[in-house]
Amino acid sequence: MSPVFPTVREVLALDPVRHGAPRLVAGDVGLDRPVRWVHVTEVPDIAPLLGGGELVLSTGIGLPADDTGLRAFIGDLADVGVSGLVVELGRRYVTGVPRVMAAAAERRGLPLVELRRATPFVRITEAVHALIVDAQLTELRATEEIHQRFTELSVEGAGPGDVVRQAAELSGCPVVLENLSRQVLAYDPAGESAELLLDGWEQHSRRIRPTGRTAYHGDSGWLVTTVGARGQDWGRLLLRWPGGGDLAAGRRVFDPVEEVGAHVGVAAPPVLPPTRLTILVERAASALALGRLIRRDAEGLERQIHRTLLTALLDHSLPVDQVALRARALGVVLERRHLVGVMVRHRADEPAGEGGPAPETGHPADPGAGGPAAGPARLRDLAEAVGQALREAKLTGLTSAVDDQAVGVLLALPEPAAEERALAAFAAALRRTRPDAAADGPARPTGRTNGAARPGGGLLVAAGSVVAGLREARRSLVEARQVADAARRDRRDLPIFRLPHVGLAGLLHLLRDEPRLQTFVERELGALLAYDAQHPREQLLGTLRAYLEQGRNKSAAASAAHLSRPAFYERLARIRRVLDVDLDSVEACLSLHVALLALDAVRTP
């Protein structure tokens, strides 16, 4: 797009021109042509000396006297692409320009204006040229600011939301970033209604089909540019330009009804956006593409938005209504749905790539799996598997990693009755798509559960209670996270862990940060822990654990502890003295057993 120039309409609104009492007699359809320069002429063969875009001023004294010559003169000007012709009356033409000239100009859409009062052409030339220079200087300053702003964003590694927000701020227009499936990744309504902006977005977006990589779609009023780099396009950036009128870069609009007669009182056709907006959307698209390349090993943009929304539900960082709106724009409808929070994580005893055995296989781990990047890479694999499982099960919801260990899901179900069926389908799909399972067979036996295959190949899936709306979604997500934490060391092979499954050990794990629980542990076992610290070779705590886990059967406990019965009895007697407790009492042993479970929960990260 060429640099910004004033239009014929704007030139006619300048004071020096208005002083000449202008009247448009033909070519009103060309009023929005840009005026690149002003040229004064009194000769009929001026066209070969023009380059297009000029506003030609003349008194008409040198124009042809015959109709054929006048038609040729107008035709030559139109062919070379002049913006308009202004003729001052009084010297050659007294009452008006010849009808044949007006008819020829009307046929070619060339604005033909009469000045009914004598006006020094030099004043018109000075005013127009000053307007051109001022507009170009303003455009240059705006362009410099655009480049500076987006360069800073690129250097700072700003996310898509920041780039879109900056584009809307600089343009004053609504801006939307979408992926190739017409799902909204980020948007800024620029003070307008977000509901109206995004309502039926996918259908609306598919009707916006401009030609070219960056182009203006006049029918819809959107300036569109493709986003991508290295030959891989992944989205579109759209800016809604109002077009025409005084909203276009602060224009002063020439009123055709008032100034040129009622016969041309029609609305002006939409004008193209100024160059600065084209530069803005292209520069913003470049910043987005660069950010995508920088984060190419991180989550995709869609997953980042999912993570933002899930995190917002957990920590109340966004209003619920905004979460619902942004999720709907992403293609996930959460309103009027029954929601279930789900957490997926690896079990507590699954290796995480430290160079030991690979999960469930006993074979050496991939040498590249170790190191600082192993944890994040493993979490990304898990997030991808969870997303694929949702698609396989034909379920809708938000999903992303919610911390360094777990992937969260907020399932959106049409009715509560679909809960169990949906969770079962998700667990089955995850079993097939889990990242640490064999691609060509079921999960392998672990040797720790009597040969039974673990669901999800070492993955643990926990679900919260179903809730009736988005405002209660946090409760379901938090419950799912707590259940997942509590069930980390559970050896049962359950497809889905729910709150009733966690038992006493799970309850104590959920309460592990509670000071009163920690005080209880110290009161019950503190003396024994202190004794073991001073006598590390005896370790009476292990003896007590064996005794309680064997149901107070001393012979079985001695065997489990790999001690002779006299040695085991002697240690039990020492435990009695250290704790001052009757180990034959069921109530006392129950209290000690709970304290041991609580100690395990407190010590488990």
CATH number at residue 245: 3.30.450
User: Residue 146 domain-assigned?
Assistant: no
Mean pLDDT over 323-336 rounds to 90
Q: Which domain covers residue 550, as residue numbers? A: 515-603
Kindly state whether residue 161 falls inside one of the protein's structural domains: yes
Model confidence band, residue 299 (pLDDT cutoffs 50, 70, 90): low
Q: Are residues 386 and 448 in the same domain?
A: yes
What is d(CA 31, CA 83) in angstroms, rounded to the nearest whole number?
8
In this predicted structure, the answer to whether residue 536 has a pLDDT above a threshold of 90 is no
Does an H or E element contain 408, and which? strand 406-413
Q: Are residues 424 and 453 in the same domain?
A: yes
- 3 lies in some domain: no
Task: Note whether 107 and 44 are same-domain residues.
Answer: yes
Identify whether residues 477 and 341 lie together within a single domain. yes
Q: Are 224 and 214 in contact (CB under 8 A)?
A: yes
The domain that contains 463 carries what CATH number?
3.30.70.270
In a domain, residue 93? The reply is yes
Last residue of a domain, one of 294, 310, 334: 294
**pLDDT-based confidence at residue 295 (cuts at 50, 70, 90):** low
> What are the tokens at 14?
């300048």
Strands (E), 181-323: 184-188, 214-217, 222-229, 232-240
Confidence at 296, pLDDT banded by 50, 70, 90? low
The pLDDT mean for the chain works out to 81
For residue 143, tell me if it sits in a domain: no
Together in a domain, 310 and 419: yes
Q: What percent of the chain has pLDDT over 90?
A: 34
Give tens-digit pLDDT for 11-35: 998 999 999 999 999 999 999 888 8
pTM of the model: 0.52
Write down the residue that tokens 């875009």 correspond to. 53
Are residues 490 and 522 both part of a single domain?
Answer: no
Output the CA torsion 417→418→421→424 (10° steps): -110
Same domain, 202 and 345: no
144 lies in some domain: no
Q: Specify whether 186 is located in the same domain as 249.
A: yes
Q: Same structural domain for residues 243 and 306?
A: no
Is residue 221 assigned to a domain? yes
Average pLDDT over residues 276-292: 86
Of residues 249 and 133, more confidence is placed in: 133
Based on the domain organization, do 455 and 379 belong to the same domain?
yes
Place of tokens 């059967």: 553
Q: What is the pLDDT of residue 264?
A: 36
Q: Is residue 61 part of a domain?
A: yes
- Per the structure, the count of domains in the chain is 4
Q: C-alpha distances in angstroms, 414 versus 334, 417, 442, 474, 534?
A: 10, 9, 31, 19, 61
The answer to whether residues 452 and 552 belong to one domain is no
CA distances from 502 to 278, 497, 605 (A): 58, 8, 17
Is the pLDDT score of 243 beyond 80?
Answer: no
Residues 481 and 554 occupy one common structural domain: no
Query: According to the model, what pLDDT value does residue 457 have?
Result: 47
Lowest-pLDDT choice from 192-206, 314-328, 350-364, 536-550:
350-364
Relative to beta strand 112-115, strand 84-88 is parallel
